[in-house]
Amino acid sequence: VGLMARIRDQHGITLPQLNIGGGHAIAYRPGEESLNVGVLAGRVRAELEDGCARTGLPVPRLTLEPGRAIVGPAGVAVYRVRAVKRTAGRTFVAVDGGMSDNPRPALYGVRYAPRLIGRPSSTPPRLATVVGRHCEAGDILADEVALPGDVRPGDLLAVPAAGAYHLSMASGYNLVGRPPVVAVSNGIARVLVRRESLDDMSRRDIGL
């Protein structure tokens, strides 16, 4: 509002619209807080009206960009377990993805809550660390999360709230192709983005 007032005073232009962007939080793990749309709308509207009244501006059309709050919860990343290592004090579950499809845990410590899918398990849960395939110390997708004690190679782990960043931040790290994107609705699945192959990545090679 202060910027809009300066633009009016210096240039004689009253802007009709204010876009305050996005960045609204979502819950990645149980117990975390997510965006409360009603509370946000009430507070933003009150602040906007108060600021405009103090500066003599008409209340502009207000625009928000809650992209992550919409697409984040809509996506689920699915990994296949490649190996399980059990020691006296820890269990490590290695999956077929990692830093290449989701660098956020390694970059700034985001942690997720993977769950076993595809088969039932009555085995009591055990704390496990889910690691990626890239042989890097920071390639950890989830640290000390509860997974069934009988988790084994071939199992599928689902990671909720993966819609916002997994694909957009995925890379060809260690020449691991980016994963596909599959839309699922009412029991029907359709590939939206196909899996990236080694041939896809090698097409840019010009050769000697």
pLDDT tops 90 at residue 132: yes
Tell me, what's the pLDDT at 33?
83
Give residue 37's pLDDT band: very low, low, confident or very high (50, 70, 90). confident
pLDDT tops 90 at residue 184: yes
Tell me, what's the pLDDT at 95?
97
* Rounded (10°) angle between helices 2-11 and 37-55: 30
The order of strands in the sheet holding 115-117 is: 115-117, 156-159, 77-86, 91-95, 125-131, 140-148
Report residue 26 CA to chain centroid gap: 9
- DSSP track, 110-168: -----EEESS---SPEEEEEEE-SS--TT-EEEEEEEEETT--TT-EEEESS-TTTHHH
Average pLDDT, the chain: 92
Burial class (CB in 10 A: 0-12, 13-18, 19+), 39: exposed
Residue 156, CA distances (Å) to 120, 126, 176, 201 in order: 11, 17, 19, 26
Mean pLDDT is lowest, of 115-124, 167-176, 180-189, for: 167-176
In tens, the pLDDT along 64-75 reads: 888 888 899 999
Tell me, what's the pLDDT at 147?
96
Could you tell me the domains of the chain?
2-67 (no CATH), 77-178 (2.40.37.10)
Mind telling me the catalytic residues?
135
